Structure 1
């Protein structure tokens, strides 16, 4: 018989949400127990195993899921941009907004990328590589629209991705006014990277 208060069935998304409910700014998924997640999800511990073999498997799938959601949000924002300044500002502002989003996808990536286990860090690194690849494609698209060209767009995309994620890790615990200040500095640094890569093309031509 089903225990009172426990669900008869559970989905992966419900287990993901239960894990997100339990982890805070200073708490890694690795600190959670299977029983904690099961209790939060309202299921018997044995029901957990219908979807995952252990907490680590849940964590890595959750990191992948969070990366996909964030990439979709940022990609849609960049598609609306047609100028250098707008793509930079839009991307950074959306990134900052996601720090406080209820879903907790960005804070999860930032936390596990810096404090998680090796397998969690590897999973985050894989997601950063996807961010980098998609940003590279958008930068090339934007440069063509503006009749300009970046030298080594893959390195520019990598530098911007690392810069923005480092910025996110730095401001996640700061008040909004200080976040905005760091975000403005980050936008300037990104413009410098882009202008430098564009100028290198001129140097190589001459």
Structure 2
């Protein structure tokens, strides 16, 4: 297994006259990440552009990826794994009295300004990318939903408050967060707090509704 892609990749440094003789798959991923930004989606990148950024001949690209779609899907999957790891770690550091919902949402929103730009990939490609990109984003969303469903069941058992249709609740919460995140990505930073507060309230409504429905089912 190759080493993970650095979250703050440095620009490739030419090793002398001509192009680099060797380059890894992760080097190409890092080069693509350097080209992305708040207003630049994966679908706008060209193979030659990525190869130039990685300091290799365009033909060398095919040693690691079949085409640009394959590179884009690798970036989407990397974004999903990275975001899940960040949110999991935030939950493990949860302070007494702090809401799991608020902590998760604040962590999610902080990633909009993170240098690695991975959340931007997930938010943008699910809306404007190719069918292959959208399918890759959909797979990542379903993984988020599955993990959240497990968390919801665990927390409901620990708190003694059952959740009605936890899988459906997880889907509703995940889709809402990503939809609101896609809106927030273009907002000035000073307005992101409004989105956080709205999201927290809406997610609480979903949770309260699921508890009420579970209690109704138990009667």
Question: TM-score, normalising length from structure 1?
Answer: 0.93
Provide the secondary structure at the position in 1 that maps to 2:99.
helix
Does residue 33 of structure 1 match 2:46? yes
Query: Alignment length, in residue pairs?
Result: 205
Once residues 149 and 43 of structure 1 are traced to their aligned partners in structure 2, the CA distance between those partners, rounded to angstroms, is 56
Match of 1:123 among 127, 133, 136: 136
Alignment partner of 1:51 out of 64, 67, 71: 64
CA contact (8 A) 2:173 2:203 kept: yes
Q: Show the counterpart of 1:172.
A: 185
1:75 pairs with 2:85: no
Equivalent in the alignment of 2:79: 66
How far 1:81 sits from its partner (Å)? 4.0
Question: 2: distance between equivalents of 1:28 and 1:99?
Answer: 14
Give the whole-Å Cα distance in 1 for the aligned partners of 2:199 and 2:43. 31
2:4 corresponding residue in structure 1: none
> Which residue of structure 1 aligns with residue 122 of structure 2?
109
Deviation at 1:166, TM superposition (A): 0.7
- Report if aligned partners of 1:6, 1:43 keep a CA contact under 8 Å in 2: yes
Aligned to 2:158: 145
Match of 1:97 among 102, 110, 113: 110
Q: 1:55 to 1:42 in 2, by over 3 A?
A: same
Residues 84 and 142 in structure 1, CA contact (< 8 A), matched pair in contact too:
no
Q: Secondary structure at the match of 1:8?
A: coil
Per-residue CA shift, 1:61-110, capped at 9, x if unaligned? 11111111111111222344488961101110000011111111100110
Local SS of the residue matching 1:49: helix
1:191 aligns with one of 204, 215, 219: 204
Contact 2:79–2:119 (8 Å) recurs in 1: yes
Q: Choose between structure 1 and 2: higher helix proportion.
A: 1
User: What 5-or-longer segments of structure 1 have no aligned partner?
Assistant: none
Instruction: After TM superposition, give the deviation of residue 145 of structure 1 in Å.
Output: 1.7
| TM-score normalised according to structure 2 size | 0.88
Contact 2:43–2:125 (CA<8 Å) still a contact in 1? no
8 A Cα contact 2:76 2:121, kept in partner: yes
RMSD: 1.8
